[in-house]
Amino acid sequence: MLTAMPPKAVTPFPKRMADRAKREWKKLSWQARCLPDFLIIGCQKGGTSSLHNYLSQHSRLFEADIKEVHFFDGGLDPDWNKYAEGERLYRSYFPRASKVREVGGQAFEATPEYMHNPHAPARMKALVPDAKLIVLLRDPIERTISNYFHERRRGRESLPIMEALEAEAEHMDAVRAVGDFKDTRWICKAYMTRGLYAQQLELVFEHYPYERVLILESSEFYGDPKATLAQVLDFIGLDDTGFEVDLTPVGVGTNRTKVDPEVYDWLINRLREPNQKLEQLLGRRFDWTS
């Protein structure tokens, strides 16, 4: 049986009104604003918040005025389809193009939902076809468990982890049946589904050539963030000369507790084939695909 849907995240009315007013003001200058040169599109709980934070410290990189724009996925607000508002809205999140150009810089945003949302790759291709994409891949078992505790921390999951995982397939089937990927269940209950990387990347590669997509391993990023940053800067065509960065991690959960071995066994069995497909798709091995 499906469990009750998680509560909607409701922003206080005064703040929503202030945010909308700010957005309307910025939309007036949309033609003078740039589009992103690159996007960090996933994965959730894979280190995207830290990567975004580190890159935003570079003097020639300009992030969107909120960390996760959620444009190509339509947004998290069930009553507001951001994508339907078009390019004027999207550009309103970015700085004026003249500001970026005068330092030879680049603009970017980071929304992990883009890799998970089946509509996002085609929408990105339509508006930012020349953008580069950055993907962080974390061990999908550890990512699944981290995702579960993330939702527990936010008060959107009450079931024990094994029950939540067993209920997931029914939630996902219900969403796919109607194709509404703004559904709260798709956003908040896709614990293991978000770790089906091959399936998601195949869709990305339908719209972007392989050479425009940088695939990074979260474990390597956590272990040597400076090396990963150098790799990212090389990929987007900026050097790291004089780039001093505060490498304090952000977005790290603190409520995780011990997980029973049966949960790991359950996930290993269900992710074995998807992990093999990822290995075949990318032609490389990951520690967790063996």
CA dist., res. 277 & res. 275, Å (int) = 5
pLDDT higher than threshold 50 for residue 3: no
Q: Identify the band that residue 115 occupies on the pLDDT scale cut at 50, 70 and 90.
A: very high
Q: Percent of the chain having pLDDT more than 70?
A: 92
The terminus-to-terminus CA distance of the chain in angstroms comes to: 34
Q: In a 10 Å sphere around its CB, with 0-12 CB exposed, 13-18 middle and 19+ buried, how is residue 84 labelled?
A: exposed
238 or 289, which is more confident:
238
For residue range 76-91, list pLDDT tens digits in order: 988 889 999 999 999 9
pTM of the model: 0.92
Which spans in the chain are helix H? 13-27, 48-55, 87-91, 97-101, 113-116, 120-127, 140-153, 161-178, 184-188, 197-205, 218-223, 225-236, 261-282
> Strand, helix or coil at 133?
strand
Contact between 72 and 129 (Cβ < 8 Å): no
Contact between 155 and 148 (Cβ < 8 Å): no
Q: What is the pLDDT of residue 10?
A: 47
Contact between 73 and 182 (Cβ < 8 Å): yes
Nearest to 145 by CA among 97, 194, 107: 194
CA dist., res. 30 & res. 83, Å (int) = 15
14 or 73, which is more confident:
73
Q: What is the pLDDT of residue 36?
A: 98
Q: Which helix (H) or strand (E) holds 217?
A: strand 213-217
Mean pLDDT over each residue of the chain, to the nearest integer:
92
Map out the domains of the chain as residue ranges.
Answer: 13-289
- CATH architecture of the domain with residue range 13-289: 3-Layer(aba) Sandwich (3.40)
For residue range 142-192, list pLDDT tens digits in order: 999 999 999 999 999 999 999 999 999 999 999 999 999 999 999 999 999
